[in-house]
Amino acid sequence: MKKYVEDLDFRGEEHISEWTPWSPQDIRRKKCALEAARLMMNSALTAPCSGAAPQIEGHIVYGQEELEAIARKIEEIAHKNPNWKEPFLYEAVMARDSDVILFIGNTRCHQTPLDGGCGLCGGTLDCGYFYNKKKHKLGLVDNTDRSSTRMIDGPLCTSRVNDLGFAVASALWTARTVLVDSRPFASMGIAGQKLGYCPNSGMVVGVPVATKSKNAYVDVNVDYHLINMERALDNARKIYQTTRIIRGFDYRKWIPKPK
Amino acid sequence: MGHLFGKDYSMDHLLEVAKSIALAVHKTPQITGKTHIETEIIWGDELDPILAVMEPMALMFRFVHWDYETIKTCRERGESPVIVAIGGKADRSDLAYNCGACGFDTCKEFNAYAKDQGSGGGQLGGPSCNWKSLEYSMAADWACTAAWHANVENRIMTSLGIALNMLGYMPDCNSKLGLVLGPPREMVYYSRDDVRKIMSYELDKLDMIRCIPWQFEGFPGGGNPMYKIKDDWWAPPDFMNVGYSEMAMDGMQKILFEIVPEIVDKYSGAVAERYQKAQKTKKK
């Protein structure tokens, strides 16, 4: 009965806008993006995979501090590899510009391989390439030593990695279907994994979601880490304020008019 | 004016759907934007060499067996499916990520190993850069999703990928999978009706005992449990015996290194010739 009364009272209004950032109307917008990310995660879980083995986990992350932490981790990683530096710095900006970041990981690729002898990892007719490079007993992989300095502690079962690809792609298809902006990122995946997201996974891909007027993940300019909306706005605040203080007048008594 | 009958136009339309799926494959988002992806559409008599390679392999692998029987039965019934072949080149890395996912510290070391090992190794064509392989599989997933959205009966098949690899389809790719499309009815490739003639209670039970033996395990306290694989399982009891199987390994050896290569020899020339012709036309 109570539910029926509540249903009769189904009314309300929600102002939604991307401006100003982190305002109530912007947070409502972000919540819509969060719903899309949740649907995307569903799609990741129902994607095809080898042997139908459960192996996909996800982490949905949102909030100003959380996204900032991810962006800073990407920046930290960017400076560790000259080949990553510029693209990863650009992608850190994209992480900040996101509403939600969905991390999708594979929980088996480093630990419980397909054991199918498919040869995808090392090109051999058995799983020797994987097991010979891993600590294991009777094929049971010992991953308790987490001191590897590599970005990803390989080798991985590439068949399982492919299953991760299926999951990520299904999530992206749903993003396209519900018309939210999204793209897959290695930088966000590696950073997310280092921060402890998808804690049981051997490989993680970051799939950010944004619902802004301009797609956050395409059409960037050069030096995007230095010239972007956040920086441009901050610069506007800096320049405009200074412009005001150097030419003040008493508007109550006189306002200059065009001649 | 016109009048289209029954399933005939549906089968014709499969080709058009396959083309749309191929477009979706090439539109798949990538992380690196550097992974080479190819698609080909194969149907009609062109399926015969693929089925010929799958036939002996079906004796060895149950998943090939089921795929082979289903495609063959559809073909015999005049409902020949269409295959979208999806290929990717993941056996070298031009990414310089040096991420370690492949097991080497640097992409340079991986590339040296891959060069030494040769491409297209194993059943599915490794070694692979994991980021590139991931992107390849993303493209394969979009093929499946495109088929799903088109409401076309479909299933992505490793078995087809192995056959395509062996016959030399898409020579510039090392990873290959086949997405089989049609015929237009439900449950062709899932809960398959067409495997009735090869399926039996005994075969299924044997698979279960071999694949999930703990389901049939008796009291383990003695250290050598009995297995309940018949109603009066205690009289006399059965025990698990794990060991090298000469029969299984010899069979695999014979199929993979004698029978299949003979079939491949028969057809691969014609397949290669097609690519050479296409190459010449491209040059002109």
**B184 with B11: CB under 8 angstroms?**
yes
Q: What is the pLDDT of residue B281?
A: 86
Backbone phi and psi for residue A13, each to the nearest 5 degrees, phi listed first: -150, 145
* pLDDT tens digits, one per residue of A97-108: 999 999 999 999
Radius of gyration of chain B (CA): 22
pLDDT at residue B258 in the model: 95
Residue A145 to residues A128, A136, A141, A189: CA-CA distances in angstroms?
21, 12, 11, 21
Tell me, what's the pLDDT at B24?
97
Closest-CA distance of chain A to residue B42, Å: 22
The 3-state DSSP class for residue A228 equals coil
Inform me whether the C-beta atom of residue B161 falls under 8 Å from chain A C-beta atoms. Answer: no
CB A216 within 8 A of CB A94: yes
The reply to whether A84 touches chain B by the CB within 8 Å rule is: yes
DSSP class per residue in A241-257: HHHHHTS---TTT----
Q: List C-alpha distances in Å: A100 to A51, A64, B137, B210.
A: 31, 10, 24, 45
Q: What's the rounded Cα separation, in Å, for the pair A36 and A180?
A: 7
**Sole residue written with tokens 């599915």:** B124
CB-closest option in B100, B102, B123 to A119: B123
Mutation pick from A90, A94, A158 vs chain B, by most beta carbons of B within 10 Å, is A158
> What 3-state class would DSSP assign to B167?
helix
Overall size of chain B counted in residues: 284
Tokens 């297209």 label which residue?
A: B120
Q: What is the CA radius of gyration of chain A?
A: 24
> Which whole number is the average pLDDT over A20-37?
97
Two tokens at A259? 């001649």
| Residues of chain A with C-beta less than 8 angstroms from the C-beta of B87 | none
Is the ipTM of this structure higher than 0.90? no
DSSP B207-249: HHHHH-GGGGB---TTSS-EE--STTTTSS-EE------HHHH
Given a contact cutoff of 8 angstroms between Cβ atoms, the answer to whether A27 and A64 are in contact is no
As annotated, the residues of chain B forming the CATH 3.40.109 domain(s) are 6-195
- pTM reported for the whole predicted model: 0.88
Query: What topology is assigned to B6-195 in CATH?
Result: NADH Oxidase (3.40.109)
Q: Which residues does A73 contact at the CB level (< 8 Å), separation at least 6?
A: A191, A192, A194, A195
Which residues are CB-contacts of B49 (< 8 A; sequence separation ≥ 6)?
B167, B263, B266, B267, B270, B271
Residues of chain A with CATH 3.40.109.10: 14-110+156-244
Q: What is the pLDDT along chain B (284 residues), one digit of tens a residue?
A: 888 887 778 888 999 999 999 999 999 999 999 999 999 999 999 999 999 999 999 998 999 999 999 999 999 999 999 999 999 999 999 999 999 999 999 999 999 999 998 876 677 788 999 999 999 999 999 999 999 999 999 999 999 999 999 999 999 999 999 999 999 988 999 988 888 888 899 988 999 999 999 999 999 999 999 999 999 999 999 999 889 999 999 999 999 999 999 999 999 999 999 999 988 888 87
Q: Nearest by CB to B97, from A83, A120, A166: name it.
A: A83
CB contact under 8 A, A165 and B131: no
**Residue A1 confidence (pLDDT) above 70:** no
| pLDDT digits 0-9 by tens, A39-94 | 999 999 999 998 889 999 999 999 999 999 999 999 999 999 999 999 999 999 99
Task: List the one residue out of A205, A155, A196 whose CA is nearest residue A47.
Answer: A205
Q: Confidence band (pLDDT; 50, 70, 90) for A2?
A: low
What is the DSSP pairing of strand B82-89 with strand B154-157?
A: unpaired
Question: How is residue B204 written in tokens?
Answer: 């299924």
Is B273 in contact with B167 (CB distance < 8 Å)? no
- Determine, for residues A154 and B103 on separate chains, whether the beta-carbon distance falls below 8 Å: yes
Secondary-structure class of domain A14-110+156-244 per CATH: alpha beta
Q: How far, in Å, are B140, B237, B245 from residue B224 at the CA level?
A: 45, 11, 21
Average pLDDT in the A224-240 region?
Answer: 93
How close B12 comes to chain A (CA, Å)? 27
- In one-letter notation, the amino acid at residue A105 is G
